[in-house]
Amino acid sequence: MTILRTRPAAWLGALAALASLATLSIASTAAASDPLATPEAGAWPSDGRDYSAQRYSPLTQIDASNVSKLGLAWYDDLDTYRGVEATPIYSDGVLYNILPFNVTIAYNAKTGERLWTYDPQVPREMARYACCEPVSRGLAMSGNKVIIATLDGRLIALDKTSGKPIWSTETFDKTFPYSITGAPRVFGDKVVVGQSGGDFGVRGFVAAFDIETGAKKWKFFLTPGNPADGPDGEASDSVMSWVRETWFGNKYWELGGGANPWDSIAYDPELNLVYVGTGNASPHSRFYRSENKGDNLFVCSIVALKADTGEYAWHYQMNPGEEWDWTCTASIISADLQIDGKPRKVLMQAPKNGFFYVLDRKTGAFISAAAHVIQNWNNGFDDKGRPIVNEAVRYGFDPKLVMPGPGGAHNWFPMAYSPRTGLAYFPAYQSGFVYALQPDWKPQPMRSNSGWGGFSGPVLQQRMKLMEEANKVEKAWLTAWDPVKQQAAWQVELPRHGNGGVFVTASDLVFEGTTKQTFAAFDARTGKTLWEFPTQSAPVAGGITYMLDGEQYVAVNAGWGGGAAQIEQSSGTELPRAKARLLVFKLGGTKQLPPLAATAAVPPPPPLRASEAQIQAGAQLFAQTCAVCHGQNAMGGVKDLRHMTADTHSKFNQIVLEGLYLDKGMASFADLLKKEDVDAIHNYLIARANEDWGRSE
């Protein structure tokens, strides 16, 4: 009887193993025939170049011996001062690019001639719901289609030859302040897309759509909804009962919880898993969100889903109970590493929290992590890889200095990995920020929600004193990181936060845009600067390289803007700059950029007439409603409001309440603000302008 019972079990096990091998073989065969999995050497058809997202090109024509001869082949003026964050894509002689508000352009990749332009007519008021400008980080391609994801939530397939729409699909409920700023990804026969909006109070999710029709295939929510509504009828239903156990109180769902996958989404075609990097919680403060307790899954995590169905496979949470505006939406890179003498299939990520992580990409098992900047939130990891949080960084009404700050030790700027050097390359930022709770905070739908306070009065003075400590250690680098040794191989110090995305070539060159307003090439093994080109604007986007008619080209968008620019501008370090441009280089290129236009003088502000109480009321309203676009303490941002002209001051109420500048992306705020609120904000701005006017910036 024992034998009879064992043999069927053995046969079943053998059949299961054979089925598993067959599935793996089919997946491997499909991957080998998929041009997005194995693109031609001279192509760059997707955001990360291939499914590994390593941003590694096998091209070698440009190398250390001749990179100094790299010159401008052609450029295109993009007619915007908004941030241009997109990685272009290239295939079959055509370069595709996407601008703010999702204006999409196809170019002859050799000459720069515009072949077609498609404007999806995104309502300009949508800029109000884009925390860090109405940017797009890229587009996707499949067969005859170019795929764009618009700020207002449409997924659109364009004919790659004509630029005409083939299909269009709505991806989110527009009664909530969702937006899309990340690139869509094509994985096999599916387009996978996330969305933004966590700061404004939405429920994060990721969804997949059919590449041929745009029909929804599956959807996975990343935080629990209102329990009274019951199941969602989506792929996430099977896990939502235990996800909900990590949230507390009876109002956590009011602002959606956040966890928006606003940038990096990756794929392993052999495992057939989609990896989703999730964002910050909403509201930011766990005190107001979840009774100051709970892990709050799946905020700041990587969640692996089965590509065919969207079903949950595994997760790893970098920051349980996240409340510092840290996100895990940075580049997710696949690689095969030798760790402890054994081959491991891994995922690598360096999210905002200052650590570099290596995980098993099949199971999500924690392999290792190490800090690459000064940090004070983590006391180590337990034997399962769960972080041991330093409870001293859990802020209350008294300010706490936490490192890194909300700008992140590594934000969305694309990371690269070279299988030749075994190193990952990314822009790093060492910083701190002072957090405190806002007394009596209430949820505020349709505007930025943090629960943070301390922007006026005595608490502001404490905040400023603590920020002096953070400012002493602030630094920025291009970092080359050894993921096996978990240590820096080299670092190149750069002047300030916001250095751009990275790619690397088989000739051991690393390319990156810098906040010196240059585009530069570095030796991938030593960090030595080999070439630098003045771009008249800091290129924050990820660049690419491609081969056309026997010549290797390098392309990058130079358009200083987005969240990093707002942080830098808010410190008063804005530089004169040109409008955004797409720059394309080749060996022997001879094109020249026109001279940079002169910068107008800052006009004197009007006299201050308001009382201190009015100014403090305006400071709090500004922090709640305006700072997300116009900078903390009214410094910098999309438009530095300390520098308004007399004409702008005279039209201030029309701009804020009537939408006078709607065409520029400045919508009316009449739904949130009364006239007396706007007057208070205006008085605060006049006070700030008088405080700072005439100072050297």
DSSP 39-71: --TT-B-STTSSTT---EE---SS-TTTGGGEE
Please tell me the predicted confidence (pLDDT) of residue 57: 98
374 within 8 A of 473, measured Cβ to Cβ: yes
Residue 671 reports pLDDT greater than 50 = yes
3-state secondary structure of 686: helix
Taking the CA atoms of residue 202, residue 206, residue 211 and residue 213 in that order, the dihedral angle to the nearest 10 degrees is -50
Q: pLDDT digits over 227-238, tens only? A: 999 999 999 999
Q: Which residue has the higher pLDDT, 411 or 606?
A: 411
Q: What proportion of the chain, given as a percentage, has pLDDT over 70?
A: 93
DSSP 369-430: EEESS--SSEEEE-TTS-EEE-GGGS--SS-EEESS-TT-SS-SSPPEEETTTTEEEEEEEE
Residue 160 reports pLDDT greater than 60 = yes
pTM of the shown model:
0.87
Which residues, 6 or more positions from 695, have their beta carbon under 8 angstroms from its beta carbon?
Answer: 572
Q: Which residue is it, tokens 């997202």? A: 53
Q: How many CB atoms lie under 10 A from the CB of residue 45?
A: 21
Predicted confidence band of residue 567 (pLDDT cuts 50, 70, 90): low
Average pLDDT over the chain, rounded to whole?
90
Q: Which residue is it, tokens 């970092």? A: 479
CA angle at residue 655 from 649 to 658, to 5 degrees?
Answer: 140
At 510, the amino acid letter reads: V
- Please compute the mean of the pLDDT values over residues 75-96 and round it to a whole number: 96
Residue 678 reports pLDDT greater than 90 = no
Please tell me the predicted confidence (pLDDT) of residue 645: 86
* 32 Rama sector, left if φ>0, alpha if ψ -120 to 50, beta otherwise: alpha
Residue 26 reports pLDDT greater than 80 = no
Which residues, 6 or more positions from 592, have their beta carbon under 8 angstroms from its beta carbon?
Answer: 72
**Listed residue (213, 239, 137, 223) closest to 180, CA to CA:** 137
Cis check for the bond before 298: say yes or no (omega within 30 of 0). Answer: yes
3-state secondary structure of 115: strand
CA distances (Å), origin 469, targets 392, 434, 462: 16, 10, 11
Predicted confidence band of residue 568 (pLDDT cuts 50, 70, 90): low
**Listed residue (124, 134, 135, 174) closest to 154, CA to CA:** 174
Helix%, strand%, coil% for the chain, nearest 5: 20, 30, 50
3-state secondary structure of 473: coil
CA distances (Å), origin 587, targets 69, 542, 652: 5, 20, 50
Is the torsion defined by CA of 609, 610, 611, 612 positive or negative? negative
- Please compute the mean of the pLDDT values over residues 242-250 and round it to a whole number: 97
Residue 571 reports pLDDT greater than 70 = no
Please tell me the predicted confidence (pLDDT) of residue 573: 57
CA distances (Å), origin 28, targets 10, 416, 572: 27, 24, 52
Residue 325 catalytic?
A: yes
At 623, the amino acid letter reads: A
Residue 10 reports pLDDT greater than 50 = no
3-state secondary structure of 257: strand
- Please compute the mean of the pLDDT values over residues 454-458 and round it to a whole number: 82
Please tell me the predicted confidence (pLDDT) of residue 19: 38
Please tell me the predicted confidence (pLDDT) of residue 27: 42
- Please compute the mean of the pLDDT values over residues 34-60 and round it to a whole number: 97
Distance CA 279, CA 205 (A): 10
Q: Are strands 56-57 and 502-505 parallel, antiparallel or unpaired?
A: parallel
Q: Which residue is it, tokens 């091998």? A: 21
Q: Which residue is it, tokens 């280089």? A: 585
Q: Which residue has the higher pLDDT, 126 or 415?
A: 415
Longest dimension (CA), the chain: 97
Marked catalytic residue, from 50, 152, 199, 325: 325
172-181, 214-223, 239-248 — which is least confidently predicted? Answer: 172-181
Which residues, 6 or more positions from 521, have their beta carbon under 8 angstroms from its beta carbon?
Answer: 67, 70, 509, 510, 511, 529, 530, 531, 532
Q: pLDDT digits over 317-366, tens only? A: 999 999 999 999 999 999 999 999 999 999 999 999 999 999 999 999 99
Identify the helix (H) or strand (E) that includes residue 342. strand 342-349
At 289, the amino acid letter reads: R
Distance CA 235, CA 228 (A): 19
Residue 18 reports pLDDT greater than 70 = no
539 within 8 A of 520, measured Cβ to Cβ: no
**Listed residue (187, 244, 249) closest to 218, CA to CA:** 187
Q: Which residue has the higher pLDDT, 609 or 152?
A: 152
Q: First vs last Cα of the chain: how many Å apart?
A: 86
3-state secondary structure string across 498-561: CCCCEEEECCCEEEEEECCCEEEEEECCCCCEEEEEECCCCCCCCCEEEEECCEEEEEEEECCC
Q: How many CB atoms lie under 10 A from the CB of residue 325?
A: 23
Q: pLDDT digits over 382-411, tens only? A: 999 999 999 999 999 999 999 999 999 999
**Listed residue (404, 441, 432) closest to 287, CA to CA:** 441
Residue 68 reports pLDDT greater than 80 = yes
Q: pLDDT digits over 487-497, tens only? A: 999 999 998 88
